[in-house]
Structure 1
Amino acid sequence: MTRFKTDLGGGAFASVLGFTVRHWRRQPWRLALIVVTFMVATLADVLTPLYSGRLVDAVASGAAADAVAWDAAKAAFVTLIALALGSVVMRNIAFVGITDLTLKMMADISADAFHRVQRFSTDWHANSFAGSTVRKVTRGMWALDLLNDTILIALFPSLVMLVGSTVLLGWYWPMMGLVIAIGSLVFIAVTAALSLGYVAPAARLANIWDTKLGGSLADAVSCNAVVKGFGAEEREEARFAEVVAKWRGRTRRTWMRGTVNGTTQGMMLLGLRAAVIGFVLVLWSWGQASAGDVAFVLTSFFVLQGYLRDIGMHIRNMQRSVNDMEELVDFEAQPLDVDDRPGAGPIRIGEGGITFDHVTFHYGNHRLPLYRDFSIRIKPGERVGLVGHSGSGKTTFVKLIQRLYDVSGGRILIDGQDIAGVQQASLRSQIAIVQQEPILFHRSLAENIAYGRPSATQAEIEEAARQASAHHFITALPKGYGTLVGERGVKLSGGERQRVAIARAFLADAPILIFDEATSSLDSESEVLIQQAMERLMVGRTTLVIAHRLSTVRSLDRLLVFDRGRIAEEGSHDELIRLQGGIYRRLFERQALELTKGLA
């Protein structure tokens, strides 16, 4: 628990408030308008008790027929109405300003967070629940609304009211000002200590479990087909109930600590009230305060008490909003694993020749590198198959070409250009990839096919679909190319999704093409259609094919056989099949034997 206190007392608050101030600086004039108008409105509240006291003195000094008393009463009344009107007008201006300020900030931080999340590494996305990420962003965005309101609408006016009332009362009775100043400072200090050191640690744990709750729910919902497939609804409900129970326990502890904090504040305010009222009665008994003075002090205290009571709530709100925002703020602080170098320009790929020049690479904190002093050249337009056991380095090879990871040593060149020195977006836009499990957006088929080239015409989209053997099944759908495919394309079969992905690659017309196990999970009829589409797509492009089904790579120009991060064998299918004891021959013979058994 000590660690949480330290984080929330210093690091978390400093980072969140620093983040907020940086966004305030984007709108300096709007912020200045809010501060000035709230200050003027609050000073009107400070002066209101003073003129209320003068009104009481005027009424108590004589009858209504007394012209002097009547004029004094009218002057006090007009001043009170003017102060109230000024306060209303200034607050209205301030509320309009803070509405625009906050909405602009919320839009900016959600856009900034989305920008960074999109650019985080594939490892980061693999280790993060999509539901949790969404929850962090949306919760943090709305927490900013509360934080702005707390600081600008609540705490700042409360501070102005506290200082103003203390100075004004101290001007008339120095000891009264001292009593209020000491009592208020003690109240604020104790409230802040309880909120930050007692409530905040519990709130942070509650937020962690709130994030886990969202992630667990999203995980189960997105995998509902698997849940149904195994009849595991009750098991998932039990699993979710465990998370809910943890969340409930952590949240209850937070709320109970908030209740203790509120009760403590109430007792301190009671003590301060007794001190102020008792002191003004003593002044009255000594003849040092009139009835109007008593009214002035009581009104000032009750207005101030309202602000002080709210300060406790505002500190709790600030603590809660900081807790809610800190995971979002962490996105900004977290470095991008792979980032464009300063001044990086676009890559220009013409022929598509690829060179690994003495590359060394290891994953994260792994002690041993996967590749060590690895070199290979793929000629422009060459069709190359990547073969080997799982974990041998095939997929890493193509990920490094896409610069999804940075190499530890050496260089990767495309047409002689070091990919580490170019813009990632320009690199990947010129590499088309067809994955084993194509991911489609919950958008129309036309939008999914045109994703690599959004400016494509309908005729170009349909031509790409024909090349990918997808046009026939698309036109058979009720809405044709306007059909929505469902989340990740679940409304389509595996073969249909694969053909849409190939159509997308056709339309992208990239000089480098990657097939990552594109036929490994398909039926024989779909595999034939897709292999025909693949052959058409490979023409004139540098092509890399990762395959476990070796029948898909037999016709390629060259095969690279990977083994533990090195190329153990290379050559054509005919050359490798003749190598006695070779890895490729062993894999091929095993698959042939399995096929023979299956036919038997």
Structure 2
Amino acid sequence: MPKDPQKKTLTLRTLHYFWKATRAHLGLFVALILSTVGFCALLSYGNPYVMSLIVDRVSEGSVAPDEVFQVFGPYILALILINVGGQFCSKLQDYTAWRLQIVVNYDLATMAFDALANQSMTFHSNRFGGTLVSQTSKFMAAYTQLMNVITFPFLPVLCSVVFTCALLFPVVPVYAAVLMALLAAYAVISYVMYKRILHLNEKAAGAQNQLSGELSDAVTNILAVKTYGREDYEKALFDKANREVVARDSKRMWASMTRGITTAAITVVIMSVVTVFISGGNAWFGITPGTIILMFTYTNTVTNQFNFINTGLQRINQAFGDASGLTAVLDEPRLVDDAPDARPLVVSKGAIDFKNINFWYSDGGVRTQVFKDFNLSIPAGQRVGLVGMSGAGKTTLTKLLLRLADIQEGEILVDGQNVAATTQQSLRRQIAYVPQEALLFHRSIAENIAYGRPDATREEIREAARQANALEFIEALPQGFDTITGERGIKLSGGQRQRIAIARALLADAPILVLDEATSALDSESEAAVQEALERLMEGRTAIVVAHRLSTVARLDRIVVLDDGKVSEDGPHAQLVAKGGAYAGLWNRQTGAFGE
């Protein structure tokens, strides 16, 4: 195991997750072990043993032609049975290994998806999406790699040592003892050198993850790369990460080569010893020809198996290094988690209360206070605008309502129910969320609209699109509702994406609505169409509208002005303008009233 306690823990934790998934299919795992042992015992050791008996019988004297089957019949039958059994074990090993990898990889993929899907937005904000995908793929591949190493070479090596001892000790104990001592030296040296280079594999895996992250970042933001002519800059960043991968892989290669050369030298010594014993075995110990064949065959088998230990250890190093990234993710505590006794949220009206809220971010050990003893009540059915300067806490407040982050102190109530005591899924299904950048999947327009209500009929999807002012442009597309939107909806304009997001919210028909800068990135014509759709969407719902454009919130029932995490002003548009405070100043700047 690695010397670094943290790395040792990661290795043990990786084994924990792998065993957890394997234990669910214990029958397959046991069948794999037994079939591997049977395959090795019968074909690698049973065949040579029967052949040694045949050689010994031949050396005793010639056999008449008509007595061949009488004398050698039992040996022939034994060889046939051994080979039938060995081949059966071989095919059973193939099946169980393949099947086990399929079902366990399914469980590992599910485990990884659940961990990533249920992590907080804070967790995802601090990581490359491409790196997480890469780590998940490597984690699953590492299990396959580890199982392959167990079935070959490590289990065959163990079998070889046991069978060689069991079969040679009774007939040539001195030779067997010397052979076992040399093999023990071989194993110890391999293990010591393995420990020394384990960290090189982890560093190589880390460099590969960084390379994947750089590639993902550049591809995800390819429009910015091209429009700013920064291809050379991104290439330089990628090349730097790529060179780091080359450097780490080269160090790992040379360390593995050094270990391989050392163990190869031990193999030469072992074969030299067996040559001496075979040459003088009959003269010194009266060893029969059949036993000499056994000594050579078994020694050759076990040393060949040991030769693969180097490759096996290298593959284990790589497997644990590759798996370490996602293992750390799986061990990461959930910043937002359901309480053990969490119950579904039931919304009948949609009243929202923020009571004595204290919330702060912790980044790099630095605590940034956002809300301190914050209070805000929103009656059911009221449409409320949140305005203020950037950093005032508008978007953060909506994220706390959605439990994309958890408050440290206080309560957030929906119809009198503390959201921290309800399940996250039930909470978010009662809130239709429309962000500034529409969140579309690389799927059809119909699937995107029906995402919040997948059982909706095509007619219901069409009606939601009509109410969202999206029907006209959708039906003008060649494939209509079956048009694939592209990654993040890249095939559609900003206004089109936003109207599809509004159609999704309309179809979801949630009692609470959160609009976070839903029109800020649109042109005037698109904004008018979207604004009209939003008016329909807000009817009869409790709505929280975050906006920098005050024209978006001017017609709402109430406007709350946030300043440094506090409510500085609260009231209808006309009242706040007449008051002449912070809101009036913002309104005048945006409408040009000062100029007039």
TM-score by length of 1: 0.95
| Aligned ranges 1:79-158 → 2 under 5 Å | 79-158=78-157
| Aligned ranges 1:295-314 → 2 under 5 Å | 295-314=293-312
Does 2:415 correspond to 1:407? no
Match for residue 37 of structure 1?
35
Give the one of 288, 291, 313 matched to 2:289: 291
Say if 1:115 and 1:82 are closer, same or farther in 2 by CA, change over 3 A: same
Count of equivalent residues? 593
Give the one of 320, 329, 339 matched to 1:322: 320
In structure 2, C-alpha distance between the alignment counterparts of 1:271 and 1:34, rounded to whole Å: 34
Q: CA deviation at 1:563?
A: 1.0
Match for residue 590 of structure 1?
589
Say if 1:414 and 1:73 are closer, same or farther in 2 by CA, change over 3 A: same
Does 2:347 correspond to 1:349? yes
Assess if the C-alpha contact under 8 Å between 1:139 and 1:325 holds in 2: yes
In structure 2, C-alpha distance between the alignment counterparts of 1:435 and 1:595, rounded to whole Å: 31
In structure 2, C-alpha distance between the alignment counterparts of 1:382 and 1:52, rounded to whole Å: 91
The answer for unaligned runs of 5 or more in structure 2 is none
Match for residue 490 of structure 2?
490
In structure 1, C-alpha distance between the alignment counterparts of 2:357 and 2:164, rounded to whole Å: 71
Assess if the C-alpha contact under 8 Å between 1:135 and 1:214 holds in 2: yes
Q: CA deviation at 1:236?
A: 2.1
SS in 1 for 2:410: strand
Does 2:515 correspond to 1:530? no
Match for residue 197 of structure 1?
196
Amino acid at match of 2:138: R
Does 2:24 correspond to 1:26? yes
Of 19-28 and 351-360, the range deviating more from structure 2: 19-28
Say if 1:285 and 1:541 are closer, same or farther in 2 by CA, change over 3 A: same
Residues 461-505 of structure 1, C-alpha deviations (whole Å, 9 max, x = no match): 111111111111111111111111111011111111111111111
Amino acid at match of 1:583: A
In structure 1, C-alpha distance between the alignment counterparts of 2:593 and 2:316, rounded to whole Å: 65
Say if 1:70 and 1:284 are closer, same or farther in 2 by CA, change over 3 A: farther
Match for residue 547 of structure 1?
547
In structure 2, C-alpha distance between the alignment counterparts of 1:397 and 1:21, rounded to whole Å: 42
Say if 1:12 and 1:275 are closer, same or farther in 2 by CA, change over 3 A: farther
Assess if the C-alpha contact under 8 Å between 2:495 and 2:522 holds in 1: yes
Assess if the C-alpha contact under 8 Å between 2:336 and 2:406 holds in 1: yes
Q: CA deviation at 1:415?
A: 0.2
| Aligned ranges 1:569-588 → 2 under 5 Å | 569-580=569-580, 582-588=581-587
Amino acid at match of 2:291: D
Residues 107-130 of structure 1, C-alpha deviations (whole Å, 9 max, x = no match): 111121111111111111112111
Residues 24-63 of structure 1, C-alpha deviations (whole Å, 9 max, x = no match): 2101222222222222222222333332222222222212
Assess if the C-alpha contact under 8 Å between 2:10 and 2:328 holds in 1: no
Match for residue 234 of structure 2?
236
Of 456-465 and 156-165, the range deviating more from structure 2: 156-165
The answer for unaligned runs of 5 or more in structure 1 is none
Amino acid at match of 2:299: F
In structure 2, C-alpha distance between the alignment counterparts of 1:65 and 1:550, rounded to whole Å: 110
Give the one of 203, 206, 210 matched to 2:204: 206
Residues 423-482 of structure 1, C-alpha deviations (whole Å, 9 max, x = no match): 101110110011111111111111111111111111111111111111111111111111
Q: CA deviation at 1:595?
A: 9.8
Residues 267-287 of structure 1, C-alpha deviations (whole Å, 9 max, x = no match): 111112222332343432214
Amino acid at match of 1:51: V
| Aligned ranges 1:181-580 → 2 under 5 Å | 181-198=180-197, 200-364=198-362, 365-580=365-580
SS in 1 for 2:588: helix
Amino acid at match of 1:343: D
Residues 249-276 of structure 1, C-alpha deviations (whole Å, 9 max, x = no match): 1112212222222212211111122223
Q: CA deviation at 1:231?
A: 2.1
C-alpha RMSD over aligned residues: 2.0
SS in 1 for 2:461: helix
Amino acid at match of 1:330: A
Residues 518-551 of structure 1, C-alpha deviations (whole Å, 9 max, x = no match): 1111111111111111111111100001010111
Match for residue 10 of structure 2?
12
Give identity over the alignment, percent: 35
Residues 211-261 of structure 1, C-alpha deviations (whole Å, 9 max, x = no match): 111111121112111122122223322222222111111112212222222
In structure 2, C-alpha distance between the alignment counterparts of 1:291 and 1:450, rounded to whole Å: 79
Assess if the C-alpha contact under 8 Å between 1:166 and 1:180 holds in 2: no
TM-score by length of 2: 0.95
In structure 1, C-alpha distance between the alignment counterparts of 2:293 and 2:108, rounded to whole Å: 48
In structure 2, C-alpha distance between the alignment counterparts of 1:281 and 1:505, rounded to whole Å: 86
Q: CA deviation at 1:569?
A: 1.2
Say if 1:594 and 1:206 are closer, same or farther in 2 by CA, change over 3 A: farther
Residues 382-408 of structure 1, C-alpha deviations (whole Å, 9 max, x = no match): 111101111111111110100111111
Q: CA deviation at 1:556?
A: 1.1
In structure 2, C-alpha distance between the alignment counterparts of 1:366 and 1:415, rounded to whole Å: 35
